[in-house]
Each structure stands twice: as C-alpha cells, then as structure tokens.
C-alpha cells in the first residue's frame, strides 16, 4: 500500500492545511492500492506563494545552472526508472513492460530533450535596432491527465524548469503515484525551494484554484475538452495565458498498395496500445472501399491477437483506468451497435476469463463517419474502420471531425503519403511511423491551442509534419525498450524501438 499524504511545497514535504484523503484504486484488481491527500485552496495558495518567491531568483539563473540541475534530475530519474514504471502500472493499469519501457522512456526522452534544447537555445536575438529577449513567463500551473501520466508531467515540468519558470503541478487524482515519485526525484536532485511544487487533489478544487489564481501567470493543461473550456473561463478574469492540449479522434489513412493489409494490422494493434487511452490514437482507420473485405479481415485478426490480462504478466493490453472509463467504453460499444455499425471484433463486456478488473475487449467496428463512435472520443480500445473511394474522399473524411490532434498516413509511395498529410487539418501527422522528441505536439480545432515537445514547448508556432522518415510501418505490438533511445529525429534506418507509435 502506498501512502502519499504530503505535498511538495517550497522545498519541503508538507501536510495539507485541512486533512482529507482519498483512496486510489488499482484498475487491474479493483482494490485499494493506496491513499493520497486531497488538497484545498489554502494549499494552492501556499504553493503559488512559494513559486512566486522563487521566480525572482530562478528566472535570473544562468543556463549553466539550469543545465546542472536538469542533469542531476536525470541521474536521479534514471536511478528510479523501474520504480516509476511500476507506479504507472499500479495507478493506471499499463502492462509492466509498457510502464517500465515506453511510459518511463517518454519521461526520460523529454528530460533529455529539455537538456538538448537548453544547450542551444537562443534567449536573445538582435533584430535590427531591437534586442529581443525570450523570457520565462512566470509561475506556471501545470494540470495533467492520467493516461500517459509521466509523459504529461515531464513534458511540462522540465521545459518550465529549463526556461526559468517556476511551477505548481497538479497531477491526476486517478493516477497520482508516478508524479509523487517525480517530486521525490526533484527534491533529491536539489531543485531550489519553490521552483517546483506539487499539490494533489481534485481537479474542481486544486485545478480550478490554480486557474483562477491571480499570482499564476500561465496554465498549461492537458486533458479533456470540457475541462479545458472551464479552465479557459476560470483563467479569463486574471488574463493569464492558457495552453490547452485536449482530446482527439485522429484519422489513420491506409493507402491502396501491397502493404495495405499489413498496415491495417499494425494500425489496429497500435490502437490497442495503452488500452486505446491515447489522445492521438488513430481511432478512425480509413481504408480503400475497393479492398474493404481484406482490410476487415486484417483488422479482425490483429485485434483478436491482442492479449489482454493482468498488467504484471506478459500481455499487450491491461485494464482501462477506472470503472467510470470502463462504463464509457461499454456505452460507446452499445451505441455503435444501436447506430448500425458492424462489429468486426470484440464487443461488450470483459474478455473471457477476466471476472475482475476494468478489462475491455479490443473492439473493431466498420462504421460511417457520421456515427457517434466515429465523431466522439471514446478513449478506450475501440477502433472504427471507414471506407474511402478516392484520395480526395479520404482527406474529406479525415478532416470531417470536430478534432484535429494527430493523424497518420501509411503507404509505399512516400510522396503521395506526404501530399495527403499536408491536406489533413491536424496538429501532428506521422507518415509511415517515426518518432521525434523534437517535433511539436498539439492540436487544431477542439483538440486545443498549445504546442508542446522540444523547443516549441510553451510556444505558439504551428509546425505540422512529424516522423516523415519511412523508418517503420506504424505501431508494433511488442514490449517497448527499457529506456527510450536518445532523442532525435528518426533517420530512416530500421529502428523499431523508436517507432512504437502514437503517444499521449
């Protein structure tokens, strides 16, 4: 049992002002795995005050000082990777190999990337008669979701630290453990008092207090659209900046070529990674109508090959995060059937032999783009296959969505694939796989307004294509690497470990 009842405020482990606790449920067993404290506005006030005090000196720190600190954090993070991965598995149900591999590796990758970017970042630029300074924004409120818990925390905390900002982190209540260990790492690494603070608790209390707080300069939020809208409203009265990374319903276009069936299979397995709880998951698979039967067969075989079970075992898919999320997935499966979508694989209920735990069946529907299961984010292992008649038709379907977060195009003709990618209105697109920690991540439309990852973190510039090197085909359903490879562009050589596919 884990007992995480103290917050990290002003360089000290601090009891909540008003004691209150909540139990954390292990989604694989439905049993209590630990307890966290639930903070109040008073705890937020203390954390923000500490961050405000620390901003004066931290914003004036040198690049060398910040690099030293990031490297100390890196040493400590590396030492505790196994523990971090186990915490992710326990809090949100990712298979242990995924937790200790890809989940932890994403954090390691963002940390390494923050170091690389800081080493070369130009904070000053002479433009004609003007000296342009790029300055830290100030005190940042960082609010994160549970689905890739370490990824979301690290992609905010480390760039904030690197740029001279101070921060207050509010981790997800459903998955609070890995963030707590990260706070221990920051403490051990010697982060100066007040530069990084963490308060656990309910979003409607801690998140809202941060969003409204007059002494917070920016909110960086990753999570659902309704909460993003609420945060924007809450932040408006104090005119703070708000970066939103929200949901998606990303299209995955498979071109009509010799690799069509293999690409469909890889995309289907890819959809089931992290039990489909990935904001940029390719949850709408667009295949040529002329080859629909072949595509359906490939998707069915791939979905049925996904092993589901106890995340501590050798499985491809664990449970979804909570009873609530399980219910949402079941409701969408029922809705798909009601709307007349054709069930290809999976369906309602738990997989055979799993009586306890929030397990879902890897599910595939053949549907049309007007159905709710094709328009709304399900956030579970449910893939929708939609047929297209021509390239123009595929682009139209891809763009006919309220969201615009991720996108995928797979095909042997790389130029044709890139031409399609250019026409897709979405923030990030993977063409034939690939992975790059330096590529910007963020959405258009109702997927948000922010851009994160690499040097664009906290920036507002819209960059699009990512992973255009033809280094591998889509997502491979196998255990991820123990440690993410050194950050850098995919260079076209076969590096399957670097091509595990969509993240967060």
Residues that bind ligand NAD (CB under 6 A): 143-147, 152, 170, 172-173, 203-204, 207-208, 211, 222-224, 227, 230-231, 245-248, 279, 377, 379, 405, 443, 448, 504
Residue among 166 and 277 whose Cβ is closer to ligand NAD: 277
- CA 177 – CA 195 distance, rounded (Å): 21
Nearest approach, Cβ of 41 to ligand NAD (angstroms)? Answer: 12
Q: Can you spell out the DSSP letters for 235-248?
A: HHTTT-EEEEE---
Nearest approach, Cβ of 282 to ligand NAD (angstroms)? Answer: 13
Q: Can you spell out the DSSP letters for 62-82?
A: -HHHHHHHHHHHHHHHHHTHH
Strand 465-466 versus strand 429-431 pairing type: parallel
Residue among 107 and 223 whose Cβ is closer to ligand NAD: 223
Residue 135: active-site member: no
Could you say which of 140, 165, 279, 490 is catalytic? 279
Contact 299, 364 (CB under 8 A): yes
Nearest approach, Cβ of 459 to ligand NAD (angstroms)? Answer: 15
Contact 196, 156 (CB under 8 A): no
Closest CA to 57 of 165, 142, 203, 149: 165
Residue 360: active-site member: no
Residue among 222 and 468 whose Cβ is closer to ligand NAD: 222
Nearest approach, Cβ of 331 to ligand NAD (angstroms)? Answer: 15
Residue among 32 and 229 whose Cβ is closer to ligand NAD: 229
Q: Going by C-beta distance under 8 Å and a sequence separation of 6 or more, which residues neighbour residue 327?
A: none
Q: Can you spell out the DSSP letters for 106-121?
A: HHHHHHHHHHHHHHH-
Nearest approach, Cβ of 450 to ligand NAD (angstroms)? Answer: 8
Could you say which of 90, 91, 245, 452 is catalytic? 245
Residue among 92 and 421 whose Cβ is closer to ligand NAD: 92
- CA 209 – CA 211 distance, rounded (Å): 5
Token pair listed for 212: 């409204």
Nearest approach, Cβ of 8 to ligand NAD (angstroms)? Answer: 16
Closest CA to 434 of 356, 375, 489: 489
Residue where the block lists tokens 């720190």: 61
Residue among 224 and 259 whose Cβ is closer to ligand NAD: 224
136 burial (CB, 10 Å; 0-12 / 13-18 / 19+) is: buried
Please list the active-site residues.
Answer: 245, 279
């Amino acid at each position: 049992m884990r007992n995480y009842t103290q917050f990290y405020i002003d360089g000290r482990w601090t009891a909540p002002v008003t004691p209150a606790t909540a139990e954390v449920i292990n989604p694989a067993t439905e049993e209590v795995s630990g307890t966290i404290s639930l903070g109040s506005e008073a705890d937020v006030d203390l954390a923000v005050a500490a961050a405000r005090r620390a901003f004066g000196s931290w914003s004036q720190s040198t690049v060398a000082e910040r690099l030293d600190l990031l490297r100390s954090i890196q040493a400590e993070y590396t030492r505790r990777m196994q523990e971090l991965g186990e915490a992710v598995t326990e809090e949100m149900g990712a298979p242990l190999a995924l937790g200790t591999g890809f989940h932890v590796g994403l954090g390691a990758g963002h940390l390494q990337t923050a170091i690389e970017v800081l080493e070369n970042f130009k904070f000053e630029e002479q433009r004609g008669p003007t000296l342009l300074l790029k300055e830290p924004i100030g005190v940042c409120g960082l609010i994160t979701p549970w689905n890739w818990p370490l990824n979301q925390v690290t992609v905010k905390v480390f760039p904030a630290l690197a740029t001279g900002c101070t921060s207050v982190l509010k981790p997800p209540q459903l998955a609070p453990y890995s963030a707590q260990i990260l706070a221990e790492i920051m403490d051990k690494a010697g982060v100066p008092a007040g530069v990084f603070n963490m308060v656990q608790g309910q979003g409607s209390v801690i998140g809202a207090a941060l969003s409204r707080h007059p002494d917070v300069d920016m909110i960086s939020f990753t999570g659902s659209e309704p909460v993003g809208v609420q945060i924007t409203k809450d932040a408006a009265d104090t005119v703070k900046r708000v970066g939103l990374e929200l949901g998606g319903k990303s299209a995955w276009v498979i071109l009509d070529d010799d690799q069509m069936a293999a690409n469909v299979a890889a995309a289907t397995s890819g959809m089931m990674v992290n039990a489909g709880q990935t904001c940029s998951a390719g949850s709408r698979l667009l295949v040529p109508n002329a080859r629909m039967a072949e595509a359906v067969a490939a998707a069915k075989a791939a979905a049925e090959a996904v092993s589901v079970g106890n995340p501590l075992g050798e499985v491809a898919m664990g449970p979804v995060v909570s009873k609530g999320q399980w219910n949402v997935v079941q409701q969408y499966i029922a809705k798909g059937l009601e709307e007349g979508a054709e069930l290809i694989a999976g369906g309602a209920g738990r997989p055979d032999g799993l009586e306890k735990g929030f397990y879902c069946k890897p599910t595939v529907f053949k549907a049309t783009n007007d159905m709710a299961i094709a328009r709304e984010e399900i956030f579970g292992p449910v893939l929708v296959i939609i047929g297209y008649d021509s390239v123009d038709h595929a682009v139209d379907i891809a763009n006919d969505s309220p969201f615009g977060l991720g996108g995928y195009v797979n095909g042997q003709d790389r130029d044709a694939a890139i031409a399609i990618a250019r026409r897709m209105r979405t923030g990030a697109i993977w063409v034939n796989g690939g992975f790059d920690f330096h590529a910007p991540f963020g959405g258009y439309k109702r997927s948000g307004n922010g851009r994160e990852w690499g040097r664009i973190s906290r920036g507002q510039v819209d960059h699009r294509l990512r992973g255009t090197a033809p280094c591998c085909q889509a997502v491979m359903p196998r255990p991820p690497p123990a440690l993410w490879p050194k950050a850098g562009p995919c260079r076209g050589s076969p590096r399957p470990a670097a091509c595990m596919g969509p993240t967060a």
